[in-house]
């Protein structure tokens, strides 16, 4: 039965107004679905996202958005087997689908956890405060607020789930809604995932819309608050990037394009070393996973000239063991391309590459397919070229066959390997397999300007390495030049693509009021009750305890030295101070901090559950014997925490500014400590 895919627009599931495009099962060649976007009002969809989804997301704090992502990830994980069944039709094996489906869900989990790096606010602040005046009455800071537009994601066909989830996780955490346009050829899998997302009712209405058919005309309606991302071919990306509307409105455009990535074998590696087997396994995996349909796949295999024959033999043996066929059949390790149109395109590129280099592994006619008809499905074998003169025959550095196709090429020195890697004119990833850290350093620094990511593999990390072709949520995914010049994911870096960074200036008190984070010099709030006697809800940012004072004695310093074992000369040996900055013996910095804790801590059992850590500790002025210290202990920031389960204690994290000063009023030590504080309301 042929399914009519639907689009999710303006809160409704709607089919296109005509039959639209036929979609095929990549294994059998049968028509399995049809899709169309005819009749969709793209202008209304954009407006709906901005006026319905956007305001709801922006009212949520980073903590609430993060918990939303976590709930969605758990829900989709419970439905994963349904997605695996559909993914088979894309030609993907179970392992291929795992990368796409569970890898995508993993991005939701990763960005849900990232909420802990943001304040419990609808916006965030960035960087350090800038002191703009002598007496600190005028300061500057940066706040980052969600853009009041929509994120439009135009995705590639090879990862219909991961390609969507790795992007929407970021814009949702930032507080921005999304319109997703998957590649039509595999949009049936994206539609299935979006149906589950919408049915879960976890997202606020308007946070997600879906276009399965053509999106021609969508970019005519973007405005300056929108963000457009594109993943796909460099040629299509350039066309979209130059869209007049994007230029007129100065719309942020992020492009991640297919690139001619490379894997380099270090000059130190020989067939008898473990790194040689690691190299062969890694290259084989990158050629066969998703049938080579990965933007990060290895397209160029760069090896020392004396190792070309060894690599060719080892790679040939390993690829010969790769069983091609129906992913549902036991033993099959490589499925098909996503469709016949992709197969024909790859064949054209292989023919073009054949003009300047020779095929040494693989034959389009002579290969076996298990459990399927290779004439009906989009099957092809791995194809390996040998380019004996890659500096002269340069098609391999500019022509990409987006399938299980790669070129083996020699180099003489690491400098040559670096030069060859750069001839791809910018890639998403390069890897080097070497046991010599000097070679690793030389290659990484030399090649970094033309690669978005560099993986160094050796026997020490290979077992736990995520591999050449696996972008990670907390690291930037993108690259210069041909790779598009954009950045995706990257942890907090990715979130900032959907935020407007604005410099704010004013008095410390005003900046404190705006940011919800105490700034030094702001007005302080003093209460009769000790801060440690108050529950999380009762504490106010700016609330300050002025402690009693303590005069540092010789006995204090000697006792601390004996207890801690720290007998550093500046604390204990007055005869060693000549030529130093000290005019006498000084107290240990950690003693000052410890004594400060003794001054501000309230010892009785109360709402404070534990000390959670110390940040940004600095010792700014020597404390000599006889100096008197006191502490200004100020509530700097409050971060809510969710309960892990029904039995968990309701609590939050409180950041405190510990400002230790001497008898002159000058700060001698400053730190931020964190405490876990119980909530009054335990519901």
Active centre residues (catalytic): 256, 295
d(CA 387, CA 399): 13
Per-residue CA distances from 178 to 57, 231, 566 (Å): 11, 15, 56
Per-residue burial over 479-495, b if 16 or more Cβ lie within 10 Å, else e, is bbbbbbbbbbbbbbebb
SS3 letters for 609-638? EEEEEEEEEEECCCCECCCEEEEEEEEEEE
| C-alpha angle 607-609-611 in degrees, rounded to nearest 5 | 125
676 and 643 in contact (C-beta within 8 Å)?
A: no
Kindly report the number of other CB atoms within 10 A of residue 129's CB atom: 18
Per-residue burial over 596-605, b if 16 or more Cβ lie within 10 Å, else e, is beebbeeeee
393 and 407 in contact (C-beta within 8 Å)?
A: no
Please tell me whether residue 121 adopts helix, strand or coil conformation. coil
DSSP states of 219-255: GGG--TT-EEEEEE-HHHHHHHHT-HHHHHHT-EEEE
| C-alpha angle 269-271-277 in degrees, rounded to nearest 5 | 85
Per-residue burial over 330-347, b if 16 or more Cβ lie within 10 Å, else e, is eebbbbbbbbeebbebbb
Per-residue CA distances from 518 to 146, 438, 515, 637, 670 (Å): 22, 46, 8, 7, 14
d(CA 132, CA 384): 61
Q: Are strands 405-411 and 383-386 parallel, antiparallel or unpaired?
A: parallel
431 and 457 in contact (C-beta within 8 Å)?
A: yes
For residue 277, the surrounding DSSP H or E stretch is helix 274-288
Q: How many helices (H) and strands (E) does the chain have?
A: 19, 28
427 and 259 in contact (C-beta within 8 Å)?
A: yes
Beta strands in 467-531 (DSSP E): 476-478, 487-489, 499-506
658 and 631 in contact (C-beta within 8 Å)?
A: yes
For residue 443, the surrounding DSSP H or E stretch is helix 437-447
d(CA 88, CA 90): 5
Residue in the block written with tokens 């004013």: 506
616 and 657 in contact (C-beta within 8 Å)?
A: no
Per-residue CA distances from 179 to 11, 50, 168, 221, 423 (Å): 12, 11, 9, 12, 36
Tokens describing residue 281: 């396994």
């Amino acid at each position: 039965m042929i399914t009519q895919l639907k689009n999710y627009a303006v809160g409704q599931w709607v089919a296109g107004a005509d039959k639209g495009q036929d979609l095929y099962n990549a294994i059998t060649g049968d028509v399995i679905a049809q899709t169309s976007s005819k009749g969709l009002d793209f202008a209304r969809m954009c407006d709906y996202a901005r006026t319905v989804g956007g305001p709801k997301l922006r009212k949520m704090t980073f903590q609430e958005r993060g918990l939303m992502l976590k709930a969605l990830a758990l829900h989709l994980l419970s439905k994963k087997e349904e997605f695996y069944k559909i993914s088979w039709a894309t030609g993907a094996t179970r392992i291929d689908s795992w990368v796409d489906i569970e890898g995508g869900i993993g991005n939701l989990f990763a960005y849900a956890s990232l909420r802990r790096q943001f304040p419990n606010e609808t916006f965030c602040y960035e960087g350090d405060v800038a002191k703009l005046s002598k007496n600190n009455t005028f300061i500057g800071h940066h706040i980052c607020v969600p853009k009041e537009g929509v994120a439009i994601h135009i995705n590639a066909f090879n990862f219909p789930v991961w390609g969507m989830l790795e992007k929407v996780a970021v814009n949702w955490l930032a507080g921005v809604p999304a319109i997703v346009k998957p590649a039509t050829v595999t949009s049936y899998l994206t539609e299935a995932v979006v149906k589950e997302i919408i049915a879960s009712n976890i997202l606020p209405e308007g946070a997600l819309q879906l276009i399965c058919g053509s999106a021609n005309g969508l970019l005519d309606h973007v405005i300056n608050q929108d963000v457009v991302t594109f993943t796909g071919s460099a040629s299509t990306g350039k066309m979209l990037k130059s869209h007049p509307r994007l230029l007129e409105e100065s719309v942020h455009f992020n492009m991640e394009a297919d690139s001619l990535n490379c894997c380099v074998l270090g000059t130190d590696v020989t067939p008898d070393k473990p790194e040689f087997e690691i190299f062969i396994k890694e290259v084989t995996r990158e050629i066969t996973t998703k049938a080579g349909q990965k933007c990060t796949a290895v397209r160029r295999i760069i090896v020392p000239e004396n190792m070309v024959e060894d690599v060719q033999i080892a790679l040939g043996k390993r690829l010969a063991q790769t069983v091609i066929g129906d992913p549902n059949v036991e033993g099959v390790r490589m499925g098909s391309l996503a469709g016949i149109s992709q197969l024909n395109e790859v064949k054209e590129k292989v023919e073009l590459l054949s003009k300047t280099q020779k095929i040494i592994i693989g034959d389009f006619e002579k290969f076996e397919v298990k459990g399927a008809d290779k004439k009906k499905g989009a099957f092809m074998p791995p194809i390996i070229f040998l380019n004996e003169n890659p500096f002269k025959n340069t098609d391999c550095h500019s022509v990409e066959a987006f399938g299980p196709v790669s070129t083996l090429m020699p180099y003489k020195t690491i400098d040559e390997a670096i030069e060859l890697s750069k001839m791809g004119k910018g890639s998403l990833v390069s890897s080097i397999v070497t046991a010599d850290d000097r070679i690793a350093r030389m290659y990484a620094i030399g090649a970094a300007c033309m690669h978005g990511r560099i993986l160094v593999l050796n026997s020490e990390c290979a077992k736990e390495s995520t591999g050449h072709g696996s972008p990670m949520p907390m690291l930037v995914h993108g690259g210069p030049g041909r790779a598009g010049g954009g950045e995706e994911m990257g942890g907090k870096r990715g979130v900032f693509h959907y935020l407007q960074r604005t410099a704010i200036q004013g008095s410390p008190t005003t900046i404190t009021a705006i940011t919800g984070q105490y700034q030094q010099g702001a007005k302080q709030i003093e209460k009769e009750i000790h801060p440690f006697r108050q529950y999380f809800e009762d504490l106010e940012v700016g609330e300050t305890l002025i402690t009693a004072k303590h005069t540092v004695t010789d006995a204090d310093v000697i006792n601390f030295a004996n207890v801690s074992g720290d007998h550093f000369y500046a604390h204990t040996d007055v005869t060693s101070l000549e030529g130093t900055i000290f005019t006498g013996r000084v107290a240990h910095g950690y003693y000052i901090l410890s004594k400060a804790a003794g001054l501000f801590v309230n010892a009785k059992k109360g709402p404070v559950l534990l000390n959670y850590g110390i940040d940004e500790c600095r010792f700014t002025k020597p404390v000599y014997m006889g100096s008197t210290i006191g502490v200004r202990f100020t509530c700097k920031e409050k971060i809510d925490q969710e309960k892990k389960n029904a039995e968990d204690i309701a609590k939050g994290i409180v950041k405190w500014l510990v400002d230790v000063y001497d008898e002159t009023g000058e700060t001698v030590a400053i730190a931020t400590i964190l405490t876990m504080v119980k909530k009054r309301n335990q519901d």
